[in-house]
Structure 1
Amino acid sequence: MPELLANPYESVDWERVNRRKAQFHAHSSHPSTDGHSGNEPPDEVIDAYAEAGYAALALTDHEYTVESSNWPWERWNRNPADSEMVGVEGVELGGDADRIPHDTLSLFNDLADTTGMTVDDALDAITERDGVAIFAHPGRYHDASDVDWYVERFEVHPRLLGLEVVNATDRYATDRGVWDAVQSRLGNRRAVWGFANDDYHGREMGYGFDHAYNVLLLTDVTEAAVRAAVEEGRFYWQFVPDEGSPPNIDAIRHDPDRGTLRVVAGDCDVEWIADGEVVGRGDSFRYRALPDGVEYVRVRLVTAEGSEASTQPFLLG
């Protein structure tokens, strides 16, 4: 009979916490290339996300277009504090034959060149720089039947936090299947956080703006608080494919005596996912009713218009 081993929301005071949006995958036109850079300068990208109410933003331009990260923002006459935002230093690593073979979001550090490196070399370099990493759009590279490569990386790189499970307007619909497959294989050995990101390239590029993002549960907006929420999984993600409002999570309650988890949310359908399958529906879920061997569960919320949200995994054992 499973017990709850790890709840990333255990310390959250839902009545006092602020829900603040964060974007960890956005591109600018500096420097402009004929390839895959964004089509708006950094200051315009920063202003756009500030006006949309974001608390944290990383400009993650491709390493094959930059010599260093587009940091600090003062280079673009922007100060994060002026917009009540946290600016996160970052680069999207990989992208051509000379560099690592999987696009990787490198955050909170200055690594900007993986020439001649393996993916493990790059993850080690991020760790040495006290940074964190997220594998971008895994559905571009693997499907749910082919996740050994990810499992091996997550087992040995603790600063590899998770997978991008919604990219832009859901360009790779198998991303979430890969996420569940990886978490199923890892079981309760460690949690893999899921991230949703715009992969912003400009309003005219078809990737979308303010469609896929992460909702951090913060009591204050500082770099330390943002980083702690990201590292410890105190966030959920939202995806709005078209118009409409995303599902909001008002609270998550755990009753250890009854062995239940309950999500308090708005008008939406609630599904409980384990091993990639729906194992329950409705606001409350008895995790002790799961068979032995099921080692995680997460909550998926969907509105009638198709907007989606998900918690991080709860580990069981």
Structure 2
Amino acid sequence: MRLRRTESNQGNGRLAAMLPAVMALLLPGFAWASVVVNPYADVDWAAFEQHRANLHTHTTQSDGEGDPDVVIDTYHQLGYTILALTDHNRCTYPWQNWGRDPDALGMLAIAGNEPSRHHHLNSFFIAYETASTVFEQTVEEIAAAGGLAHINHPGRYWNLTGGEVPADALAGYVNWLNTYDILLGIEVINSFNRYPHDRVLWDALLSEMMPDRPVWGFSNDDMHALILAGLSYNVFLLPALTEADVREAMLKGQFYFCYIRTFNAADAPNTPTITAIDHDAGAGIIAISAVSSGAPLPDEDYQWISDGNVVHIGPVLNYRTTPGIGRYVRAELIGTGGTTFTNPFGFGGNGILRVDISPPAAADEGARWLVQGEPTWRESGEEIELPPGEYAVMFRPISGWLAPDPITVQVFSDLTTVVGEAEGAVYVFAPGHRLPAAGWGVRTALAIIIALCAGAWALRGGKCAPRRQ
């Protein structure tokens, strides 16, 4: 936890004495939402490469119609640079066994498998085969071998009930995802969007699990017939085309995914390509830029979704002022040929702030603390629930004691921040110290605001708010 003392001006003790009444009259409370999950935070959009990937692919080594070399050539011709051959219960790898060199093709071959003797999933980055018939055992084997995995086409195994995911199905996926870190997410799009209710499941999982446990979304062809190649894909954002970079991006959700609604792989240019995602934490804004059909995507074709509902239309989202946003938000970009999906952004839950005043004698004689924007003085040891963010803690002056200077504290999602003696919450015994008489008037109240805004606080948008570091 990070705590920093603010610099104070002489007389701030008297300012603090007037603070509750002044703040209640002149300053509205502010809401502070904080992004704690941003899968694109490390992307340099000007320098990173965008690589199209299919992570669910079948050949004649299981039930696909194309030999491995034919399948590889098909995706190479479609412009893919990342490909995992994931035959049922078989690892079709390395490509050289079928006369194809990924380096010569400018592609990255990912070792994969689709264990299929239970709920299907894909393993990645390991030459893995198993006879396991138990999902949990298979995942544990993949983890032990150093692999990663995602859950395949979950919508195959259940149907919506009243428009919602059955409670037992949702609970099962939540349990798997919470138990196994290597399960990175689910196929939201399988083949030509065969299971559209998987999007309902994804939103239900995100509503339940974000931001503590992100669930990344994937889109794959699950290709068995060559005619259906190139309809559903992921776009990885990478500094370079290496297995290490792809693995890291997969772990971080550093990719977006697409499907072509027209069932024509030639419509990929008419499916939005994201060119930038910018986050302004101070303003509470996420902005997306994309192109489709050779032109910027129209503003009305950006949709922001939270808790399964569209909460905003347009490329720029203010997540602090937009109603209906829960613990996450994701975007869908609608092109004339296809739809592009971002991975979710997660918002932190509230944290707890507790201030322990010392020495106890000062607390016994009326020493109290408050958070800016609140009219209530609080006792030593009292806790308050706050959204994540930076706050100014002020201390009430009392006769016979010198009050501590204001302290700037950082409140974190789902954690308790404790401010105590080490952070400066200490009154100093001063028998000759007496409080001035009351009755300063409105002009003095305004002077308080100006002084505070010049010190521990700052003016933003005409309002007084905590100064951010």
TM-score, structure 1 normalization: 0.90
Return the alpha-carbon distance in structure 2 between the equivalents of residues 278 and 293 of structure 1.
9
- Quick check: 1:48 aligned with 2:74? yes
Q: For residues 79-228 of structure 1, what are the structure 2 equivalents within 5 Å? A: 79-94=101-116, 99-100=117-118, 102-116=119-133, 118-142=134-158, 143=160, 144-146=164-166, 147-203=170-226, 208-228=228-248
Is the partner of 1:308 in helix, strand or coil? strand
Task: Specify every segment of 5 or more residues in structure 1 that has no aligned partner in the other structure, as ranges.
Answer: 32-36
Pairwise CA distance, 1:5: 0.7
Is the partner of 2:55 in helix, strand or coil? strand
Return the alpha-carbon distance in structure 1 between the equivalents of residues 334 and 324 of structure 2.
28
Question: Sequence identity of aligned pairs in percent?
Answer: 37
Give deviations 1:123-174, integer Å, cap 9, x for gaps: 1111101101111111112344231111011111111001001111111111
Pairwise CA distance, 1:273: 0.7
2:53 aligns with one of 22, 33, 36 = 22
Return the alpha-carbon distance in structure 1 between the equivalents of residues 307 and 138 of structure 2.
29
- Quick check: 1:75 aligned with 2:89? no
Q: Is the 8 A contact 2:306 2:324 kept in 1?
A: no
Counterpart for residue 283 of structure 2: 258
Counterpart for residue 84 of structure 2: 58
Return the alpha-carbon distance in structure 2 between the equivalents of residues 256 and 105 of structure 1.
36
Return the alpha-carbon distance in structure 2 between the equivalents of residues 183 and 122 of structure 1.
24
Counterpart for residue 287 of structure 1: 319
Give deviations 1:20-66, integer Å, cap 9, x for gaps: 101100000125xxxxx001100000111112121110000011xx4
Task: Specify every segment of 5 or more residues in structure 2 that has no aligned partner in the other structure, as ranges.
Answer: 1-30, 292-296, 349-469
When structure 1 is superposed on structure 2, of 148-157 and 106-115 the one drifting more is 106-115
Counterpart for residue 232 of structure 1: 252
Counterpart for residue 38 of structure 2: 7
Is the partner of 1:214 in helix, strand or coil? strand
Q: Is the 8 A contact 2:311 2:323 kept in 1?
A: no
State which structure, 1 or 2, has the greater radius of gyration over its C-alpha atoms. 2
Return the alpha-carbon distance in structure 2 between the equivalents of residues 27 and 47 of structure 1.
13
Return the alpha-carbon distance in structure 1 between the equivalents of residues 186 and 60 of structure 2.
25
Distance 1:202-1:277 versus aligned 2 partners, 3 A rule:
same
Return the alpha-carbon distance in structure 1 between the equivalents of residues 176 and 121 of structure 2.
12
Pairwise CA distance, 1:291: 6.1
Return the alpha-carbon distance in structure 1 between the equivalents of residues 56 and 324 of structure 2.
38
Counterpart for residue 302 of structure 1: 334
Is the partner of 1:180 in helix, strand or coil? helix
Pairwise CA distance, 1:293: 8.0
The structure richer in helix per residue is 2
Pairwise CA distance, 1:110: 2.7
Pairwise CA distance, 1:224: 0.9
Pairwise CA distance, 1:220: 1.0
Return the alpha-carbon distance in structure 1 between the equivalents of residues 210 and 258 of structure 2.
24
Counterpart for residue 365 of structure 2: none
Distance 1:115-1:121 versus aligned 2 partners, 3 A rule:
closer
Return the alpha-carbon distance in structure 2 between the equivalents of residues 74 and 217 of structure 1.
27
Counterpart for residue 302 of structure 2: 270
Distance 1:177-1:292 versus aligned 2 partners, 3 A rule:
closer
Counterpart for residue 460 of structure 2: none
Matched pairs, number: 298
Distance 1:114-1:273 versus aligned 2 partners, 3 A rule:
farther
